[in-house]
Amino acid sequence: MLVTKLHIPSAGVNLVHRPGLFEKLDEGLKRKLTLISAPAGFGKTTVLSDWINQNKIPAAWYSIDIRDNDPVEFLSYIIAGIQTIEKDFGQSSLKLLKAPHRPNIESIVGLLINDILNIKKEFVLVLDDFHLINSKEIFDIVTFLLKHVSKQIHIVIAARSDPPLPIARLRSQNQLVELRSSDLCFSANDISIFFNKKFKLGLSIEDILLLETKTEGWIAGLQLTALSMQGREDISGFIQAFTGDNRYIMDYL
């Protein structure tokens, strides 16, 4: 087990706080699921880690990778993640998962749900990079958790696309909060803070609005642009010539 996969990532030195997104994430604490679904480079992990750190939210964090498509591995990490906030959580389930014969997964999930009921405080379970999961059995596990989850736990899933979970049903039951690329993209004000306060580039409002138009607020593109502007004299000329093509940005790095 890689313990670092259970660490809440650092948000970074050039972080732009997003109070508007925090409000939506706070709303998710009243629901079963918060889904953050957007392509790469929209700051899903960053906004989540910043929200947790700023608000001191008890959180079990699990950074998923492609090797986690085995249900036993997946559940072991879930238990280990929750143990970071509740030390003795899931001991009996963990023993079953470590047994030499393959355990009954449904029984273990049932045990976990019962164990969660014994946790006195509310907490968040973050499943980051969930798009790397392709196991139907794991999708079934998460679906079962969402159906039977107690009020103590709020599940947050961050992924590059919508997972095959009962999203429509949760939406109809008012048990879902969603953040999409349109929510995550930088506004003109965010761009101003990022370029002028974090990178000290002194962009005019015209430059900022033009960048917003050309990048559509895509955070990774703006990050690359800010880095490529370092040491340049004709920043406005660079922005005018900028096409919004990521390959174009990379030529300047």
Quick one: 136 and 212 in the same domain?
no
How many Cα neighbours within 13 Å face the side chain of 12?
A: 12
Quick one: 49 and 150 in the same domain?
yes
For residue 241, what pLDDT is reported?
79
Burial of 236 (0-12, 13-18, 19+ CB in 10 A): middle
Measuring CA to CA, which residue among 67, 60, 107 is closest to residue 84?
Answer: 60
Quick one: 137 and 233 in the same domain?
no
Helix (H), strand (E), coil (C) string for 62-76? EECCHHHCCHHHHHH
Question: Hey, what amino acid is at 231?
Answer: G
Tally of CB atoms within 10 A around 6:
17
For residue 248, what pLDDT is reported?
47
Cβ-Cβ contacts under 8 Å for 23 (sequence gap 6 or more): none
Q: State the residue range of the domain holding 141.
A: 3-184
Quick one: 80 and 153 in the same domain?
yes
- Residue ending a domain, among 146, 168, 184, is 184
DSSP string, 71-126: HHHHHHHHHHHHHTTSTTTTHHHHHHHTSSSPP-HHHHHHHHHHHHHT--S-EEEE
Quick one: 146 and 168 in the same domain?
yes
CA distance 162 to 113: 24
Quick one: 133 and 214 in the same domain?
no
Measuring CA to CA, which residue among 184, 137, 138 is closest to residue 160?
Answer: 184
- Residue ending a domain, among 184, 204, 225, is 184
Quick one: 196 and 137 in the same domain?
no
For residue 251, what pLDDT is reported?
46
Quick one: 140 and 242 in the same domain?
no
For residue 28, what pLDDT is reported?
95
- Residue ending a domain, among 153, 184, 215, is 184
Quick one: 102 and 19 in the same domain?
yes
For residue 252, what pLDDT is reported?
36
For residue 244, what pLDDT is reported?
60
Tens-binned pLDDT, residue by residue, of the chain (253 aa) = 899 999 999 877 678 999 999 999 999 999 999 999 999 999 999 999 999 999 999 999 999 999 999 999 999 999 999 999 999 999 999 988 988 888 889 899 999 999 999 998 999 999 999 999 999 999 999 999 999 988 889 999 999 999 999 999 999 999 999 999 999 999 999 999 999 988 888 899 999 999 999 889 999 989 888 888 887 878 888 888 776 654 444 443 3
Quick one: 193 and 112 in the same domain?
no
For residue 245, what pLDDT is reported?
58
Give me the CATH number covering residue 30. Answer: 3.40.50.300
Cβ-Cβ contacts under 8 Å for 32 (sequence gap 6 or more): 146, 149, 154, 155, 170, 175, 176
If one counts the domains in the chain, the total is 2
Quick one: 192 and 158 in the same domain?
no
